[in-house]
Structure 1
Amino acid sequence: MGSRVKWAALAACVVVACAAAFGIKQLVSNHPDTGSTAAMNAFAAAWSKQDAATAASYTTAPGQASEALTQTFQAMNARQVDVVVEKPVEYSDGTASFSLRTTWTFDKDHTFTSTSNAGARNLSTGWKITWEPAVIAPGLPIGGSIREVRTDATPAPTVNSRSGKTLLYLQPVNEIILDPTQTRNVAASARQLAVTLQPIAPLVTADVINQKLAETPGKAITAVTLRDSDMGVMTRNPSSVPGVTVRKAGMLVMADRRLNSPLEAGLTNYWQAIRDATAGWQVQMVGPGMAPRRLDGEQGPPGADVETTVDQGVQLSLGDAAVEVGQPATIMALDATTGGILGVAQNSYAADRAITLDTAYPVGTTLDPVLTAVDRSARDAQETPQAVLDRLGLGVQFTVPGASTPTSGPGVATIDLQSETSKMSMTNMAALGVAMARSSTGTRSSVAPFVIKGVPTKVVGGALGDLGADLTKPIWQAMTTTAKTGDASDLTAAPGLRALVGTNGPEGPGWFVGVQGGKVIVIYTEGPKSGTAALQVAQKYFRIK
């Protein structure tokens, strides 16, 4: 009897144990056939499409989820997102758990992958993902997000002068921004901002600010960009003006604040290309009250410094000469032996006219002696005048890294031996001047102007080449005559000067191409009596150089 009871009890235990095991298997399954899997996959699919609203609709808090996902999608700025549901488990109490493996793919094909744990609940409206910020990334706080940011190697490259001294360097700056949508009285804000800036930027008047606002209606404008040292000069914080904010940034600026040159745009463009090529990336977690936390990333080595042919002393002299006249004037200096650009300066009138080294402008009578010599040389050598012009640097197009305007591209030089419709860029005229200077010392070949050491200038539309004495000698003689007894004979403090001077009629433009003291000087002016204006700029340069 006792034995049968024991066997019965044992059998009952086995039945209970089997039933319990069978129940757990049904409650916990790696492949549930209920609606939880569908909700998880739909959520992941919407996330993969970066559709914040749809993804949020599958959560228990659509408003909060949509805001957090939208912020993250914008901050990550990924080219592609792949979200995979892993380890889905459903429980008998109407809940489930799963993991999300998310891979963000960015430009240049770098990726960031994270795995987060999440849960789901079976509500009256169906299965919903239990929303919390950690669904996006493990440990993400409320109000936080993850972001992908560019990183730059340190130290930043500098742009150096021909002597190796720093010409341009990365400097913290303050962008003074006026947003017309953030002030009730835009005109009053413009006036107050102008008064605030007056001690350090007196030229940024209320009229100037209003003009900028008118050019982009309803949009914020940068009234001025100031260095940190400039901020202390003002007696009032600009951000106290309604609608004004101060945004910290970095900018490539002149080490010598007295210098200002159109070369800054081209040199900055080249410098930026180096920064872009060596840039890294980083994924960070950010949130209220926490410092950004690095999650992943890579960083390349610092870029090389940019070595240029710019002479800071020459650049300063050019700047003083350019402001000699009250009409557009641009002046350029080159090394007469190598063609290296020593500096370029222009006054505010030329800057407003967007005068560039690349654009082709009418040359008028300036090249008359050159064209005469070219025509004769071409007939004697039985070749086309265009081929001769190309060897002199005329008729071709130059793209000078660090000097050519990044946004416009080179102008088209044109020569007509029978009329005064010829057009040249300042770079063309510079190449001619250097070719003549080299020929006078026995080096009978032309070279392309350049400004970054070791980086060649692109020449299209023809080829530079050797120059015979039959071509260069009459041009050099004409330049000598112009300097001694012609239009440039009144210039002083320029011993040994050789020059070409000319205009395109009473309204210009006017040109000066001179060789003196181992340098080539090219001046371009516009407006009435522009030929005289070009000579005035030249005289100022020779007196102060």
Structure 2
Amino acid sequence: MFSGVDDGRARRGWVPRAAIAVTAVGACCAALTSCSSEPAAAAAVINDFASAVSQQNIQHAASLTTAPGQASTELTETMDGMHASNVEAKVLRTVGYSDGTAGFTLKTTYHWNTGGEGDETGTAKRREFVVETQGTARELSTGWRVQWEPAIIYPGLRPGGRINEIRTDARPAPRVLSRRNQPFMVMQPINEVVIDTSRTENIGRTVAAVARVIAPMAPQVTSDVILKKISSSPGEPVVAVALRDPDMKVLAGDPAKIRGVTVRRTERLVMTDRQLSSPLEEGLSNYWQAIRDATAGWQIVVQQPGEAPNRLDGHQGPAARNITTTVDPKVQRAVGIAAIEVAQPTTVLALDARTGGILGMARNQAATDRGINIDGEYTTGSSLAAVFDAVTAYAKAHNIGTDEVLDRLGLGVAFTVPGASSPQRNGLGVERIDYRPGEVRASMLNVGALGVALGRAVAGEKSAAAPYIVSGQVTKIEGGRLGSLDGDLVRPILDAMATTVRRGDASDLTDAKGLRALVGTNGPDGPGWFLGIIDNKVIVVYTEGQRSGTAALQAMQKYLKVR
């Protein structure tokens, strides 16, 4: 009887007695013979088993074996470990023996469809792994069944063994570089402090202990913050905080010794300067991850109990190139200090006034809690009144629609900025309405693009430019087109900005030589905006809450002092 397990005898010329019998009758080569009592029934069960494997119907496949429980467990582990797009199991040959058994050869092909026809690494976009195994079926009182052995999955596989498809990533990992080609974000070892509520009887005591231990490095991660995370993911382990290796040395204790807490080692893309924090980090991390995904490799490994994994197949292309951005760490630090200067929700965005490159973005904790982001749409109130007056007058004088004029300035379009803005965004920049305060909505990207258009006009440029953050990546513009910057369109706006600084709401700002600005609110409860052009930079401040216009000026004043 063939068991499918190579015990070495076949390599030494040993031939199973059943095989000799098959040769003697001369009729058991490629199809089931009449050597056994019910060969057709055996073939039917074997083919049914192969069909169930192809359909990944584990329970049915297991029910056709002599050990359904063991077969179900090991087939499930195989399918979970290989996570193929589809599986094709085919019976190549079946041979019946006079002792009431039947041997068969099973060819199993695992397919992965990853889309496209290929990439720069040479990794095939459609790939497969093929394995041939030997198995046996026997006739029991309940009918024919496949004799279950793990070797049906892979030759020589033992109980407790498994085959897996695993991802591989080329080294070194790409770095995210600043505009000066210095590392801005790099992959580093990270320690995640994980709380598992199912492993502690007193969650309040556990959370308090964790907050106390991590306080020297993460004082903002209080018990209330951790409990909020836990309540948002009931029953799931929660990462209370992620710390770098040097951070672990200054904690007030070992978090792993707290009941219900483990410290999980991983790697993560982080800012090289631990003092910097930015909402841009998420978008850049997502872009970096997409690059890693596109250049990822793969391996098929067999893991036998008590042995190191053994590579069976795989491919790994070269490492991805570093990602160059427009971020300026010095500007990022300045906008970060400006944002935390204000108690109410405050977000500050800085762009290059000539190119539209995003130099930095920051928000305080209150703005983070509110979920304020770079492409969310917020009411502009009176802050852009001078812009809307100029747009209306220009459109009337030139007999064109105000929509087209808004688009030219970057206000009437939607931007998708690779590495910065969310691809799930649904809205378009400014709503197409009559420009009544409290009704117009725009994103920080829209207001930033307006500032860039005006900054380019000051520098003598004749057209607007879309914001961007990754060098070489083009920003997608929807809902209209950017356009020319006619003098009779931008001049009234620039004049209003100069007036605002000389004797208007921004006249009290100091260290503001050369500043042009617009500032305003949407009533006493906000929100408030500040749009400024200074030092060849566009600064956009967005605040919420009462006296938000004053808060926006406060943040801008801090930026001017620390820039």
- TM-score scaled by length of structure 1: 0.91
1-side partners of 2:489 and 2:185: how far apart? 41
Counterpart of 2:112? 106
Q: Which residues of 2 match residues 86-485 of structure 1 at below 5 A?
A: 86-108=92-114, 109-234=126-251, 236-409=253-426, 411-414=428-431, 416-420=433-437, 421-485=439-503
Residue 50 to residue 21, structure 1, CA distance change in 2 (3 Å) = closer
Counterpart of 2:527? 509
Offset from partner CA, 1:408-437 (integer Å, 9 cap, x none): 455531254452122221111111111112
Residue 233 to residue 99, structure 1, CA distance change in 2 (3 Å) = farther
2-side partners of 1:514 and 1:332: how far apart? 11
2-side partners of 1:409 and 1:169: how far apart? 31
2-side partners of 1:379 and 1:23: how far apart? 97
Structure 1 residues 55-64 or 520-529, which shifts more? 55-64
Unaligned runs of 5+ in 2: 1-19, 115-125
Offset from partner CA, 1:220-270 (integer Å, 9 cap, x none): 222222223333333544333333333333221111111111111111122
1-side partners of 2:355 and 2:337: how far apart? 25
Residue 124 to residue 24, structure 1, CA distance change in 2 (3 Å) = farther
Counterpart of 2:33? 32
| Displacement after TM superposition at 1:354 (Å) | 0.8
Offset from partner CA, 1:164-208 (integer Å, 9 cap, x none): 011112222233222222333333332333333333323323322
Q: Work out whether residues 449 and 465 of structure 2, in 8 Å CA contact, stay in contact via their aligned partners in 1.
A: yes
Q: Work out whether residues 335 and 349 of structure 2, in 8 Å CA contact, stay in contact via their aligned partners in 1.
A: yes
Q: Work out whether residues 265 and 405 of structure 1, in 8 Å CA contact, stay in contact via their aligned partners in 2.
A: no
2-side partners of 1:514 and 1:399: how far apart? 23
Kindly report structure 1 stretches of 4+ aligned residues shifted beyond 6 Å: 20-23
Residue 410 to residue 215, structure 1, CA distance change in 2 (3 Å) = same
2-side partners of 1:252 and 1:409: how far apart? 28
Q: Work out whether residues 513 and 521 of structure 1, in 8 Å CA contact, stay in contact via their aligned partners in 2.
A: yes
SS at match of 2:236: coil
Q: Work out whether residues 56 and 66 of structure 1, in 8 Å CA contact, stay in contact via their aligned partners in 2.
A: yes
Structure 1 residues 230-239 or 287-296, which shifts more? 230-239
Q: Percent identity?
A: 50
| Displacement after TM superposition at 1:315 (Å) | 0.3
Counterpart of 1:74? 80
Offset from partner CA, 1:257-307 (integer Å, 9 cap, x none): 111111111111221221222222221112332222211122233222211
Counterpart of 2:13? none
- TM-score scaled by length of structure 2: 0.88
Q: Work out whether residues 80 and 104 of structure 1, in 8 Å CA contact, stay in contact via their aligned partners in 2.
A: yes
SS at match of 1:290: coil
Structure 1 residues 289-298 or 502-511, which shifts more? 289-298
2-side partners of 1:542 and 1:356: how far apart? 23
2-side partners of 1:247 and 1:521: how far apart? 40
Q: Work out whether residues 209 and 223 of structure 1, in 8 Å CA contact, stay in contact via their aligned partners in 2.
A: yes
1-side partners of 2:362 and 2:56: how far apart? 50
2-side partners of 1:127 and 1:377: how far apart? 86
SS at match of 1:452: coil
1-side partners of 2:255 and 2:157: how far apart? 36
Unaligned runs of 5+ in 1: 1-19
- Does residue 498 (structure 1) correspond to residue 516 (structure 2)? The answer is yes
| Displacement after TM superposition at 1:123 (Å) | 3.3
Structure 1 residues 23-32 or 169-178, which shifts more? 23-32
- Does residue 63 (structure 1) correspond to residue 64 (structure 2)? The answer is no
1-side partners of 2:71 and 2:434: how far apart? 73
1-side partners of 2:334 and 2:208: how far apart? 36
Q: How big is the alpha-carbon RMSD for the aligned residues of Structure 1 and Structure 2?
A: 2.2
| Displacement after TM superposition at 1:54 (Å) | 2.2
Q: Work out whether residues 153 and 299 of structure 1, in 8 Å CA contact, stay in contact via their aligned partners in 2.
A: yes
Structure 1 residues 166-175 or 525-534, which shifts more? 166-175
Structure 1 residues 220-229 or 338-347, which shifts more? 220-229
